[in-house]
C-alpha cells in the first residue's frame, strides 16, 4: 500500500495503522481488565462487603443489647414490685399476728381472771365450810357446856348443820 504524503496523509486513513490500533486497544482492554480493573474492583467490593457486614453485626449486637437492657429493666421493675408485694404481705401477716397475739393475751388474761374468780369463790366456799364446821363444833361445845349434859355428838350435829346451813344461806 502506498502511503499518502502531504495533505492526504494528514487526514488519510492507513489500513495497517487501523489494524494495529484495533489490536492494541483490544489487547489493552483484555489485560487492563484482567490485571487492573477486576482485581481492584474485587478488592473494593470485598472491602465494602466486609465493612457492611461489620456494620450489620454491630447493629445486630446493638439491637440485642437494647433488647437485653429492656428485658432486664422490666425484670427489675418486676422485682421491685414483687418486693413491695412481699413487704406488704409480711406487714399484713405481722399485723394479723399482732392482733391475734393481743386477742390471745386478752383471752388468757380473761381466763386467768375468771379462774382467779372461781378460785376465790371456791376458797370462800371452803372457808365458809371450815367456818361452818368450826361453828358447829363450837356450837356443840357451847351447847354441851351450857346444858352440861352429854349430848350425843352424832345425833345432834345433823340438826346443828341444818341450822347453820340456814344461817349461812340467810347470810349470803
Partner 1 sequence: MDGVGNGPRVLVEFSFFGLFDVSISQTVLSSFLVMVVLLILSWRLGKGLQKRPTRRQVLVEKGVSILYDLVEDTMGKHNSRFTPFIGALFCSSVCGTLISLFGGVFRSTTADLSTTVTWALIVTVMVWYQNIKQNGFFGWLKGFTEPVAVMTPMNIISEIAQPISMSFRHFGNIAGGGVLTTLIYGALAAGSSLILSWVPNEIIRSIPFLQVGIPAFLSIYFDLFSGFIQALVFCMLTMVYVGAACPPPEETAA
Residue 54: CB minimum distance to partner 1, A? 12
Separation CA 126–CA 134 (nearest Å): 12
- DSSP assignment of 55-119 equals HHHHHHHHHHHHHHHHHHHHHHHHHHHHHHHHHHHHHHHHHHHHHHHHHHHHHHHHHHHHHHHHH
Q: Say if CB 161 and CB 136 are below 8 A apart.
A: yes
**Span of 6-14, 74-82, 91-99, 129-137 interacting with partner 1 by CB under 8 A:** 6-14
Pick between residue 31 and residue 72 the one whose CB is nearest to partner 1: 31
| Residues in 97-156 at the binding interface with partner 1, rule: CB under 8 A | none
Under DSSP, the state recorded for 4 is P
Pick between residue 34 and residue 125 the one whose CB is nearest to partner 1: 34
**Span of 11-19, 90-98, 122-130, 162-170 interacting with partner 1 by CB under 8 A:** 11-19
User: What totals of helices (H) and strands (E) does the chain contain, helices first?
Assistant: 4, 0
Q: Build a one-symbol-per-residue string for 15-34: x at contacts with partner 1 by CB under 8 A, - elsewhere.
A: -xxx-xxx-xx-xxx-xxx-
| Residues in 33-92 at the binding interface with partner 1, rule: CB under 8 A | 33, 35-41, 43-44, 46-47, 50
Pick between residue 43 and residue 101 the one whose CB is nearest to partner 1: 43
Residue 4: CB minimum distance to partner 1, A? 7
Given CA atoms 164, 167, 171, 172 in this order, what sign does their dihedral have?
positive
Amino acid at each position: 500500500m502506498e502511503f499518502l504524503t502531504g495533505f492526504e496523509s494528514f487526514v488519510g486513513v492507513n489500513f495497517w495503522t487501523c489494524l494495529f490500533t484495533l489490536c492494541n486497544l483490544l489487547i489493552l482492554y483484555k489485560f487492563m481488565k484482567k490485571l487492573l480493573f477486576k482485581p481492584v474492583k474485587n478488592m473494593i467490593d470485598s472491602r465494602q462487603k466486609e465493612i457492611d457486614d461489620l456494620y450489620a453485626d454491630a447493629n445486630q449486637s446493638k439491637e440485642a443489647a437494647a433488647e437485653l437492657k429492656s428485658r432486664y429493666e422490666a425484670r427489675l421493675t418486676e422485682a421491685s414490685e414483687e418486693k413491695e408485694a412481699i413487704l406488704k404481705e409480711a406487714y399484713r401477716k405481722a399485723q394479723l399476728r399482732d392482733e391475734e397475739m393481743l386477742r390471745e393475751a386478752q383471752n388468757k388474761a380473761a381466763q386467768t381472771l375468771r379462774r382467779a374468780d372461781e378460785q376465790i369463790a371456791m376458797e370462800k366456799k371452803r372457808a365458809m365450810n371450815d367456818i361452818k364446821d368450826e361453828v358447829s363444833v363450837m356450837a356443840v361445845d357451847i351447847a354441851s357446856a351450857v346444858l352440861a349434859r352429854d349430848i350425843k355428838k352424832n345425833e345432834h350435829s345433823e340438826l346443828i348443820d341444818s341450822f347453820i346451813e340456814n344461817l349461812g344461806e340467810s347470810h349470803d
